[in-house]
Chains A and B, each alone.
Chain A
Amino acid sequence: MLHNLRQLVRYRGLIQSLVARELKARYRGSVLGFFWSFINPLLLLSIYSFVFTFVLPSRPTDLEPYALFLFCGILPWTWFSSSLAESSQVLIAGGNLIKKVLFPAEVLPIVTVLANMVHFFLGLPILFLFILYYRHAVLTASEILWLPAVIAVQLVMTLGLALFLSAITVHFRDVKDILGNLLTFWFFATPIIYPMDVAPAVGRQLLNLNPVTHLAISYQEILFYPGPFGHWRWLLATAAASCALFLAGYFVFDRLRDSFAEEV
C-alpha cells in the first residue's frame, strides 16, 4: 500500500493532464464554456437567496446578508458532494482503461476530486466579489491564511471518501443510489443553510460528529463572521480524522484493486 502511495507522485503528470482534459471536455460544445463554472454557483445562490428571503423569511438577524452566509457553505459543499457522486461512478465509466490498459486506477477518483476542486476555485472569486459588494469587510489577513488549511483538510477528506466509494461501487452498484439520498441527508445534517447555534444541544453534539460540519463552520468563520478564527481546535481534529479517513479509503481501494479489471 505504501509503495503504491509513493507511486502516486510519479503519476502527477498524468493526473495533471487528465484534470485538464476533464475540465476541457466538460464544457466542450457549450456556448458559454468555462463561464458555466461561474454561472452555476451564481444560479444556485440566487435560488437559495430567493427561497430564504421571500418564501421562508424567518431567521436570526445576525445572519445578514443571508445569501453570503449560504454561499460560504454551499460552495465547498458542492465540491464535496459532486466529487463523491461522480467518483462513485468513475471506475465503471473508465472500465475500458482498467480492463484494457495498464492504468493506475486510483488516478480516476483523484482526478474527479481535483477537477471539482478547480470548479470550487473558480467559484471563490465570485464569493469574494459578494463579500466586497455587501461591504462585509471582516476579512483579516490572519483569518484568510487559515483558508488554505481548511481547503487542504477538505481535499484529504474528500479524496479518502472518493477512493473508498469508487472501489466499493465496483462491487455493489447500489452504492450510487444510496449515495444520492445520503448526500441529501448529509447536506441538511451540516450547518450550511442554518447556523450551528440554532441547533438544540443534543443536535449540536451529533452535528459535531459530522466532519463536514467543522469544514462548513470554518469557512463561515473565516469568510462570514467577524473576529479571529476560533474554530481551529476542531479543524485540527478534523484534519487528523481526514488523514485517517484517507488512509482507510486508500487501504480499501488498494485491497480491492486487483478485482477491478474483472468486475468493472
Chain B
Amino acid sequence: MNAIDVANVTKIYRRYGQKRQFATLKSAMLRGSVIADLKPEETFAAVRNVSFRVATGTTFGIVGRNGSGKSTILKMVAGITKPTSGRVTVDGRISALIELGAGFHPEISGRENVFINGIMLGLSKREVARRFDEIVEFAELRDFIDAPVKTYSSGMYMRLGFAVAINVDPDVLLIDEVLAVGDEAFTHKCLDKFGEFRRRGKTILLVTHSLALVERFCDEALWLEAGEVRAAGDPKRVVGAYITDVEKSEEEHLAATNARAREAADQGSVPGEAEQTSEEGAASAPEEIPANMFRAGEGRWGSRELEIVDVQFTGDSGRIAHIFHTGEPLSIRLKVRASRPSTDFVFGIGIFNADGSCCYGTNTGLEELTSEEWSGDGEVVFGIESLDLVEGTYKVDVAVHKRDGYPYDYHRMLYSFRVKSRTKDVGIYRPRHRWTFSPNIRFRTMPL
C-alpha cells in the first residue's frame, strides 16, 4: 500500500527574464497570447522525470542541495502546485509543514488564529476546540495565547504554527526543513512527536539538510540533484553518496580557491612591496617571526633564492585532498627548489583557523634541526598523524627563511583545507578523549 505515489513527474517553471518582467495587459494583448510566446529558453525544469513511492507507515527523506527541486516536489505532493506532466497520488489527509503560520493574521489573537488556521488545514471548529489545549500546551504559549500574533517573537510564531499543523492529525505529514525554527528543547519535542507519528503508522515525507536526521529517522531516502534523482533507497547509502558528492565539489572549490590565491599572490608581489616586507623581516630577530606572521595579510614575499614551488595536501592514501575528517592523517607537501646551494635555511609551517588564530606553528629551527646543506630540487613533507582539529576551514602558512629570519620565500595563508566532523564540538583543538561513567550514571541511546 502506497501513501504517496509520484510517477514520472516533471515541473517546468517560467523563467522571468528582463523581457517578461514588465508584462502588462497591453503588451499581452498586442502580442496576442502569453503562453504561445514562451520559448524553451524562457522555461526551466525544476523537477525532471522524478518517480518514487512511499509506502504507508514509512518515513521517506529527500536530500539535495539548494535549488535541487526538493521543495517543488513537496509542494506537488501537497497539491499546492500541479506537475507539468506526470502524476502525483496521495492517499489520506495531508498536512504540510512547509511554511509554519502561513495565514496567521497579525492583528488578531493567537487563540483566534489557532481556530482559523485549524479550519484552513481542514479541521472543523469543534475539532479545533477539542484539541485547543493540546495545541497551546505544545506551543508553550499559555500566557500569550490571547495576545495579537503580531506581538509574538518569530520563535513563538513558528511554534504555534507547528503546533496547529501537527495537531491536524494527518495521515500523511509533509515536512520541509521546519525543525530549524525552535530552540533545542522544542526541536526534541518535535522529534518525539514525529516518533509518535511513526509508531501510529502514519506516513512522513521529510525534506531536510540534516543528514543525520535522514539516517536516523527515515526508512528510505532520495537524493535529488538539479531536479533529477541521483540515488534512492537505503538512507545510509543515499546519504553517504550525497556526502561524497558534496565533498567532491567542495574539494574542487577549495582547490580552485587555493590556485587563485596563489596566482594572485604571485602577480601581486611587486618588487618594491616585496622589498619592504623583506626589510621588515630582515630587521627583526628570528624569535620575532611569529609576531611578523600575525601582522602580515595573505600574500607571498621573499628573495626566492630558495623557493617553495608548490604546496599540496595529501590524505592517508597519498592522494591530493582538501577535505579531511577529524582524526585523519594529513601531510603538507612542499616542492622546493634551491637556485644556488645553501647552508642556512629554516622551514616553517603555521596553521590558522577562520578567526585568524594560530592553531599551531613551528619550524625546523624551533625543533632544533640545524641546516647543513641543500641544493637542487627536493621535497619537504610535514606529516600530521592525526588531525585533531574541530570542524572548520583552516589556512596554512609555509615558509623557508634564514636562521635570522631573512625570508627566502614566504607564503602567507595562501592554502586552505577543510576539516569535517560529525561531532559539533567547539574550540580549536580536539584532544583524543573518552568519557567513562560509573554504572549508576546511564545515558539513553538515541531514541528514534
Q: In the assembled complex, which residues on chain A have CB atoms less than 8 Å from the CB atom of B121?
A: 101
Cβ proximity bits A73-97 to B, threshold 8 Å, 1 near / 0 not: 0000000000000000000001011
Report Cα–Cα, A261/B107, bound state, in Å: 25
Report Cα–Cα, A62/B56, bound state, in Å: 75
Report Cα–Cα, A157/B420, bound state, in Å: 65
The answer on a CB contact under 8 Å between A102 and B94 is yes
User: Closest CB of chain B to A226's CB: distance in Å?
Assistant: 45
User: Closest CB of chain A to B287's CB: distance in Å?
Assistant: 62
The answer on a CB contact under 8 Å between A21 and B75 is no
Partner of B81, one of A24, A174, A261: A261
Cβ proximity bits A6-28 to B, threshold 8 Å, 1 near / 0 not: 00000001100110010011001
Q: Which B95-135 residues sit within 8 Å CB-CB of chain A? A: 96, 98-99, 102-103, 105, 107-108, 112, 115-116, 119-121, 124-125
Q: In the assembled complex, which residues on chain B have CB atoms less than 8 Å from the CB atom of A262?
A: 13-14, 81
A135 at the interface (CB under 8 A from B): no
The answer on a CB contact under 8 Å between A261 and B24 is no
Report Cα–Cα, A24/B81, bound state, in Å: 31
Q: In the assembled complex, which residues on chain B have CB atoms less than 8 Å from the CB atom of A173?
A: 24
User: Closest CB of chain A to B347's CB: distance in Å?
Assistant: 58
Report Cα–Cα, A129/B327, bound state, in Å: 87
The answer on a CB contact under 8 Å between A102 and B96 is yes
A172 at the interface (CB under 8 A from B): yes
Partner of A17, one of B75, B78, B115: B115
A102-B94, A171-B34, A174-B24 given as contacts; is B82 within 8 A of A258 (CB)?
Answer: yes
The answer on a CB contact under 8 Å between B119 and A21 is no
The answer on a CB contact under 8 Å between B103 and A21 is no
B25 at the interface (CB under 8 A from A): yes
Q: In the assembled complex, which residues on chain A have CB atoms less than 8 Å from the CB atom of B81?
A: 258, 261-262
A14-B119, A17-B115, A101-B98 given as contacts; is B25 within 8 A of A175 (CB)?
Answer: yes
Partner of B80, one of A13, A178, A261: A261
The answer on a CB contact under 8 Å between B34 and A14 is no
Interface residues on A, range: 20 to 34
Q: In the assembled complex, which residues on chain A have CB atoms less than 8 Å from the CB atom of B119?
A: 13-14, 17
Q: In the assembled complex, which residues on chain B have CB atoms less than 8 Å from the CB atom of A99?
A: 80, 99, 102
Q: Which B11-57 residues sit within 8 Å CB-CB of chain A? A: 13-14, 23-26, 28, 34
Chain B's closest residue to A175 (CB) is: B25
A3 at the interface (CB under 8 A from B): no
The answer on a CB contact under 8 Å between B108 and A13 is no
The answer on a CB contact under 8 Å between B107 and A28 is yes
Q: Which A187-243 residues sit within 8 Å CB-CB of chain B? A: none
A21-B112, A101-B98, A175-B25 given as contacts; is B80 within 8 A of A96 (CB)?
Answer: no
Q: In the assembled complex, which residues on chain A have CB atoms less than 8 Å from the CB atom of B125?
A: 13, 17
Q: Which B116-163 residues sit within 8 Å CB-CB of chain A? A: 116, 119-121, 124-125, 148
The answer on a CB contact under 8 Å between A100 and B102 is yes
Report Cα–Cα, A171/B125, bound state, in Å: 34
Q: Which A6-65 residues sit within 8 Å CB-CB of chain B? A: 13-14, 17-18, 21, 24-25, 28-29
The answer on a CB contact under 8 Å between A103 and B103 is yes
Report Cα–Cα, A258/B79, bound state, in Å: 10
The answer on a CB contact under 8 Å between A101 and B28 is no
A13-B125, A171-B34 given as contacts; is B98 within 8 A of A21 (CB)?
Answer: no
User: Closest CB of chain B to A7's CB: distance in Å?
Assistant: 12
Chain B's closest residue to A18 (CB) is: B116
Report Cα–Cα, A38/B267, bound state, in Å: 77
Report Cα–Cα, A173/B24, bound state, in Å: 7
Report Cα–Cα, A88/B82, bound state, in Å: 24
The answer on a CB contact under 8 Å between B105 and A101 is no
A100-B98, A100-B99, A171-B34 given as contacts; is B107 within 8 A of A25 (CB)?
Answer: yes
Cβ proximity bits B68-105 to A, threshold 8 Å, 1 near / 0 not: 00000001001111100000000000101011001101
User: Closest CB of chain B to A259's CB: distance in Å?
Assistant: 9
Q: In the assembled complex, which residues on chain B have CB atoms less than 8 Å from the CB atom of A258?
A: 81-82
User: Closest CB of chain B to A36's CB: distance in Å?
Assistant: 15
Report Cα–Cα, A103/B26, bound state, in Å: 31
B residues lining the A interface (CB < 8 Å): 13-14, 23-26, 28, 34, 75, 78-82, 94, 96, 98-99, 102-103, 105, 107-108, 112, 115-116, 119-121, 124-125, 148
Q: Other CB < 8 Å A-B pairs besides A172-B28, A258-B82, A261-B75, 6 of them? A: A13-B119, A14-B119, A17-B115, A102-B80, A171-B34, A262-B81
A residues lining the B interface (CB < 8 Å): 13-14, 17-18, 21, 24-25, 28-29, 94, 96-103, 171-175, 178, 258, 261-262
A-B CB contact pairs (8 Å), 10 listed: A13-B124, A14-B120, A17-B116, A99-B80, A100-B80, A101-B102, A103-B103, A172-B24, A258-B81, A258-B82
5 tightest A-B CB contacts, nearest first = A100-B99, A172-B25, A100-B102, A25-B107, A28-B107
